[in-house]
Amino acid sequence: MLNWTLPAGCRGLIFDCDGTLVDSMPLHYHAWVTVLRRYNLGFTEARFYQWAGVPVEEIVRRLALEQGLTVDARRIAAERDAYFHSLPTSALRPVAAVVDIARRFHRRLPLAVATGSTRASAEASLRALGILEWFDAVVSSQEAGRPKPAPDVFLLAAERIAVAPGHCVAFEDGEAGLQAARAAGMHVVDIRPWLPH
């Protein structure tokens, strides 16, 4: 178990979902490649990790623009999400170090999830791990306004758990999410060193 200490004055914990609480990134990338292939859109694994935390529809728009294609980004995003949800959740694993922290502070502090994915996708992943009920709020950037790296989703998550952003710790694995949490004025933990290599 990781020996992580709560910073002084922090009264709420906010977690990204994919890649932070749930080791779902390989499954997400598989869904991306499978669906984008139908539309002749390429998406490298390096770019996928670089854009961690960016909403699905926005990623489709960026890829189409870069590759000179005109597509229905909303439809492709919905198709990608549907395909991801059709995959067996048995392939999902917890990010042990982060889930241990959530377990330790569950019922002691308010906990929230701030995801660049849809709320339905995040809730399905958390439910598959049996930890959904630990969180007082699950907030997606779609309901918050601007996507990460804007701070909106973290600010709304803090509001939902009634803790001032400056008194929250945010856990993230993606550059866009780390920028978003910093912009929200939160104490930020980059969990990537805790990931198994």
For 12-75, the three-class secondary structure string (H helix, E strand, C coil) is: EEEECCECCCEECHHHHHHHHHHHHHCCCCCCCHHHHHHCCCCCHHHHHHHHHHHCCCCCCHHH
Fill in the amino acid letter for 23.
D
Residue 196, helix vs strand vs coil: coil
Is 16 among the catalytic positions? Answer: yes
CA distance 84 to 63: 19
Helix (H) or strand (E) holding 120: helix 119-129
- Smallest CA-to-CA distance from 157 within 105, 114, 122 is with 114
The residues annotated as belonging to the active site are 16
